[in-house]
Structure formats: C-alpha cells, structure tokens
Structure 1
Amino acid sequence: MILATTVQLVYWWGVFARLAFYDPAREKVGLPGSPQEGASVLICARNEAANLRDNLPHILEQAYSGPWEVIVIDDASTDGTAAVLEQLQQQYSRLRVLRIAEKTFPGKKHALAQGIAAARYEHLFFTDADCRPASGQWLSCMAAALLKTPETEIALGYAPMRREAGWGGRLLNGWARFETAQTAIQYFSFALSGWPYMGVGRNLAWKKS
C-alpha cells in the first residue's frame, strides 16, 4: 500500500511539476515579436448580439503585424446579431461574416466547419463571442506559440472565467472559476509531459492543413 501510494505521488509530481516550474520566457513560447504569418480568427455565434458588441472590438483591435482576418459565423441567430455585425463591419474592414440561414445541425460543429473552409489563412485561432482577450497581444502570443517550430500543430491557451460582481452568483461563479483553473492545470501539465489530450475552444489555435 505504501509503495503504491509512493509511486502515485512520484508520478503526479512528475506530471504537475512540469507546469509548476514552467517558464515561457525561457522556452520562448508565446512571446510576441516572432515572424507573424497570415492568421484567421474564427468565432461561432448564435444569438450573441450583446456579447459581440462588448467583446468583438477587443479581438478586432489586436496588435498583429501579419495579414489577418476575423470571421464570425452567425449560426442562424434570431436576435440582433446580424445588425451588430453589420455595424462592426463598417468600422473594421478585416471583419468577415458568414451567415447560416437555418439551423439544421445541433451544436456548432457544422458552423465551425463552414468557417474553417472559408478561412483565407493557414493558421486558425478560435475563441467565443462571450470571451475577451486579456490584452492586445493575445493573437501575437498565440501565433508565436503556434509558429515555435515547424512541427507544432496545435497551441493551447488558457481561458479563465471573469469574476462576477455582487453576492447573488458569487458562489456559483467562484466554483466555475475553480473548475476552469483545475481543468487547465490538468491539460497543460499533461501537454507539457508529452501527452496532450484536450484544449478549450475559447482559446485554441491550429494549422489548417
């Protein structure tokens, strides 16, 4: 029993210590300033008018020196999503909108496939309408991670939940933030150990080919 417990502890230490002592600066991962190639940012949205109005400008104003575009796939929205996107297109020339007239498939897999097919660039970056990047360097940092080596095919990012004000939903929000952080610790640790098994669509990048 003691031996089995010791083996387990050593194993888990070996996995999670990789993240605990990981230094992105030393590894030169996710540091802006790397050569920046063409990038397509894809966002699936269904009835997300308010979130797009609040968050999409923060995506569209990223500091990225290479050619890039933002594609929003309007997945048969019935609210004011189309009007919000039309207004933003007048302000941002890099914004492209792909509209799906009728919702024929559950989930967003079909809509996402349409967006990927329409993307102009090889390097694809994914987030959600209710997400806001932490800074104007998000796209540059994710691109630098994806372009670290020719063999790199996927870049995993962290997408924490925002803290909510007020006492009403604070307990539920706190638990959700804890679960989000715990999940990220797990998939980052296993990825650094050479066993990647998942990422989150709110902050993810891969190469189209």
Structure 2
Amino acid sequence: MWTAAGSLLTWLWLLLCQGFFWRTDVRLPPRREPDAWPSVCVVVPARDEAAVLPDALPSLLGQDYPGRAEVLLVDDGSTDGTGELARELARRHGGLPLTVDSPGEPPTGWTGKLWAVRHGIGLARARDPEYLLLTDADIAHAPDSLRELVAAARTGGFDVVSQMARLRVESTWERLVVPAFVYFFAQLYPFRRIGRKGTRTAAAAGGCVLLRAEAADRARIPDAIRHAVIDDVALARAVKGSGGRVWLGLADRVDSVRPYPRLGDLWRMVSRSAYAQLRHNLLLLAGTVAGLALVYLVPPVAVVTGLATGNAAAAVAGASAWLVMTGTYVPMLRYYRQPLWLAPLLPFTAFLYLLMTVDSAVQHYRGRGAAWKGRTYARPDAVPDES
C-alpha cells in the first residue's frame, strides 16, 4: 500500500511540477519573416543511408527558401553508394546546390557522426553562412521547413531552434515503443523549460537543429562535444552553457522516414545510448531501474495484488497512479495519431525500456556499448583529452 501511495504521489508531482511535459502543444514559437533572409548551409552526415536517402534528400534540395542556401552531404565512410546516390538525386531533382564530400575515418576521441558534422561545418565556413541546419539523412522536411525555422530563430532571438521529428509509426512494435520514446524524452527534458530564460534544462533533437554559426563558434561546436554519443543534448547544453538561447518542440511537418519494423531494431536504437545517458555509472543505473519500477511497474502490480489479497487501499492507490499515468500519455498518442487503448499499456512499454537500459549497460561492459553502424565508442573518461 505504501509503495503504491509513493507511486501515486510521484505521478501527481510529475503531472503538475515537471514542466507539463505531457502536453504536446509546444510547436514552433511565434515568428515573422525577416526583411532580409540570412544565408544557410544544411549539413547532412550520412553513413550507409542509401535505403532512406531517396525519401529524405529531395525534400532538402526542394526547400522553398528566399535566401542563399545549399546542402552539404558528408559521406561518412559509406559502403552502399550513399555519396553517388546523393549526386544522382541532385541531378534528377535539382533545387538547392549539393556538395558531397568525405572526412575520412574519425580519429580517437570522436564519434563518427560528429566527425562528419565537423567536416561539414568546416565546408560551410568557407561559405560564411549565418545559420547551419544540422539534419539527419533520414529526415524529410516540408518545403517551407527551413523558412519556418529561420523565421522562428530570428523572431525569438534563439541560437538553436530544434524540432523533434515525427518518427515513423506503422508496425505493431513502432506503435508500442515510439510514442513512449518521445514521451520519456519530454519527461526528462520538458520542452517548456528548455526555451525559457534562466533555466538550466537544455536539449535538442539531432534530426533537425538550426544553429546560429556564431553560437557554434562560441560554444566550440562540435569540438567541445566530440565524444558525445547523445550529441543533440550535448550540443544544446554547450550552446546554453555559453550564453545562448535554445528552443525545442514537436514537429508538424518534419518526419523521420527510417523504419523500425521489429522489436530488435528499436531495441538497438535505445540500448546503444541508454547507458551513456546515465554517464556509464552503475549507481545511476540502479537508481533508474528502481525509479522506473516505482513509477511505471508498481501501479499495475499494486492493482493486481491488492485485488488478489483484498487490500483495497493498495488497489485504489495503484489504480489512481495508473490512471494519472494513462492520462498523461494520451496527448502523445493523439500527436502520433494512435488508438487511445494503447495508453494503459505504458507500464509494459516502460518495462521494455527498463530491459533495454540494463542491456545497454551489459553491452558496455562486454565491450560492445554505444555501437552503431560498425563502430563502438569508448566512454568519455576513457578518451584522451585534447587542447
């Protein structure tokens, strides 16, 4: 009964005191078109992305942007013809100018993506843009996406404007896991707090990050975060820590085209970085597992055991916590246009995430942690620092 009551109190606190994380109305802030449109370089790191590039790259090349803009695709050692396919798509679709280049293998201390981003930013500096749009090779943008991002940044005085791309939700496992992924992210980093002056909360979504070039120089992006596996959050922290302003919200017409049809695909997506999020700390892992159990697993267990043993107080407390949990998940399901009967299943999905987090730690200590597309990254304190 007392454990269930603790879970209920935790949910009431999350409902009212965690930045209203469960609301999904944080979209691009008010904006007006500037008198003069600044120049933009779009940097796209890509490694073995031939399968998704035809659905994403043409959307960037076809941006309806009034100012000067071009796309820089950095082919990060692909073996599937990503670079040549990008050139062919540019020839076929036209639109913004496209440059394809390769940085070579990343040196020790760099993740592959950030090494590619560094190379892309280096290419961009020769064009002297005012803004950089960092976007992934699996992200499709509406034709006015760049225009809207720049207008929002100029109007609000933001150094970073980032949108959480709407992830693909078609298979059964995607329906169970993907909306919860964004829900948990918003719970950790409430979007309302990120954009508010005077707060320390900082995060971005790596699929769509408009970054002021001057702010990137001031925050030493990406050199200052070169070993970060969760590079989007690290980027936002670096910019905010150097005095910049950051905004993050949900996207309306920025979509990920990458499929995750099987549970194993989603499992790898989460487990590759979960333990890095916990700073490779066993105490934080233990606390996270205990917290997930208290918040998400105790309510249904309390209902079942309370009814089975005749402990009405435990059943009522558990049911109340479960009801609040379910209610806070409904807006995210609506955002993803999913049936609301999935909301009471959130404890099951949270249990999957608990197992993924534990597996992330196990893979780390087996030497296979933070592995992605053929590369495995050491934890930051194992990497020699560079001045």
TM interval, shorter chain, is 0.7 to 0.9
Deviation at 1:13, TM superposition (A): 2.7
Structure-1 residue corresponding to 2:130: 122
AA partner of residue 112 (structure 1):
V
Report the count of equivalent residues. Answer: 198
Deviation at 1:184, TM superposition (A): 3.9
Contact 2:46 2:73 in 1 (8 A): yes
Describe how 1:160-175 pairs up with structure 2 within 5 A: 160-164=166-170, 169-175=171-177
1:132-190: CA deviation from partner (whole Å, max 9, x where unpaired): 12x2121111111211244x2111212121122xxxx4124531232124424644122
AA partner of residue 34 (structure 1):
P
Could you list the runs of 4 or more consecutive aligned residues of structure 1 that deviate by over 3 angstroms after TM superposition?
5-12, 17-25, 101-106, 184-187, 192-196
TM-score by length of 1: 0.79
Deviation at 1:88, TM superposition (A): 2.6
1:185-205: CA deviation from partner (whole Å, max 9, x where unpaired): 644122144443111110111
Deviation at 1:37, TM superposition (A): 1.1
Q: SS in structure 2 opposite 1:158?
A: strand
AA partner of residue 199 (structure 1):
A
Contact 1:187 1:197 in 2 (8 A): no
Structure-2 residue corresponding to 1:188: 191
Structure-2 residue corresponding to 1:143: 150
AA partner of residue 98 (structure 2):
L
Structure-1 residue corresponding to 2:284: none
Q: 1:7 to 1:192 in 2, by over 3 A?
A: farther
**Aligned partners of 1:208, 1:19: CA distance in 2, in Å?**
32
Contact 1:160 1:177 in 2 (8 A): no
Q: SS in structure 1 opposite 2:112?
A: coil
Structure-1 residue corresponding to 2:210: 205
AA partner of residue 50 (structure 2):
A
Query: Which structure is higher in RCO with an 8 Å CA cutoff and minimum separation 6?
Result: 1
Structure-1 residue corresponding to 2:68: 67
**Aligned partners of 1:66, 1:183: CA distance in 2, in Å?**
34
Contact 1:15 1:189 in 2 (8 A): no
Deviation at 1:43, TM superposition (A): 0.8
Over alpha carbons, which structure has the higher Rg?
2
Structure-2 residue corresponding to 1:16: 19
Contact 1:59 1:132 in 2 (8 A): yes
Contact 2:48 2:78 in 1 (8 A): yes
**Aligned partners of 1:38, 1:187: CA distance in 2, in Å?**
31
Deviation at 1:92, TM superposition (A): 4.0
Contact 1:156 1:199 in 2 (8 A): yes
**Aligned partners of 1:156, 1:9: CA distance in 2, in Å?**
29
**RMSD of aligned residue pairs (Cα, Å):** 3.1
Q: Give the gaps of 5 or more residues in structure 1.
A: none
Q: 1:39 to 1:198 in 2, by over 3 A?
A: same
**Aligned partners of 1:8, 1:147: CA distance in 2, in Å?**
38
Contact 1:160 1:180 in 2 (8 A): no
AA partner of residue 158 (structure 1):
M
